[in-house]
Amino acid sequence: MIEPPQPQPQPQPLPHEPPELPELPAWQIAQWFNTDRALQLADLRGRIVLIHAFQMLCPGCVAHGLPLASKVHESFARDEVEVIGLHCVFEHHDAMQPHALRAFIQEYRLRFPIGVDLPSADGAIPRTMASWNLQGTPSTLVLDRSGRLRLHHFGAVDELRLGALIGRLEAQR
C-alpha cells in the first residue's frame, strides 16, 4: 500500500587513486586532431591532465565518456586542466580509421586535442593502450601537475567525484 520500492542509495567506491603514483610511459600517436602540433605528456607538466581513451563506435564513450570529457574541457582554465582524447582502436579497425574519426569529431563537435593511438604491427591492441594496460573503452586517466597518475579507471566516471579529484589536484602546487 505504498509506491513501488526505490533503490537505496549505495555508497560508491572512491575512484581508484593508485598508491604507487607511477609515471605513465609516453603515448605513441599516429596522428593528431584539434591541435597544430604534436603534444607530449612531458610538455604538459604543471597542469592537471585528463586523458579520455575512447573508440568512436563505443556506445558508452559516446553517451557518457566524451560528454564528460568535453564538460571538463569547458569548465576549467586551459592552463590549469588539459583534456586529451586518445582514440585507441582495438576492434572494428576498418570502421574507425583516422578519416572516419575526423568526421566523428566534426559531427560531435569535440574541441579538445585527440591523438590516434599508434596501431600495433602484429596485434589488435594499439601501442599506447598496451603499454598503459588499458582494459577497454571508455577509460579515464588523470595525472597531477607532476605527471603522476592519480586515476586509472575503466568504465563510467562519476561527475561529482571526478570534480573533487580535479579540485584536490588543483590545490596541490
Judged by the rule CB under 8 A, the positions of this chain that interact with a copy of itself are 1-4, 6, 8-12, 55, 57-63, 68, 70-72, 74-76, 90-92, 94-96, 99-100, 102-104, 106-109, 111, 124-125, 135-138, 154-156, 158-172
Cβ neighbour number for residue 28 with a 10 Å cutoff = 17
| Cα–Cα distance for residue pair 23/21, rounded to 1 Å | 7
Q: To the nearest whole angstrom, how small is the minimum distance from the Cβ of residue 80 to a copy of itself?
A: 10
CB of 40 to a copy of itself, least distance (A): 26
Strand-pair partners of 52: 85, 140
| Cis check: omega of the bond before 126, within 30 degrees of 0 | no
34 versus 106: smaller Cβ distance to a copy of itself: 106
Q: Toward a copy of itself, which CB reaches closer, 43 or 93? A: 93
Collapsed DSSP state (helix, strand, coil) of residue 29 = strand
What 3-state DSSP class applies to 140? Answer: strand
Whether the Cβ atoms of residue 126 and residue 120 lie closer than 8 Å to each other: yes
In the complex with a copy of itself, which residue's Cβ is closer, 40 or 97?
97
Smallest distance from a copy of itself to CB 147, Å: 18
Q: In this complex, which beta carbon is closest to a copy of itself, that of residue 38 or of residue 133? A: 133
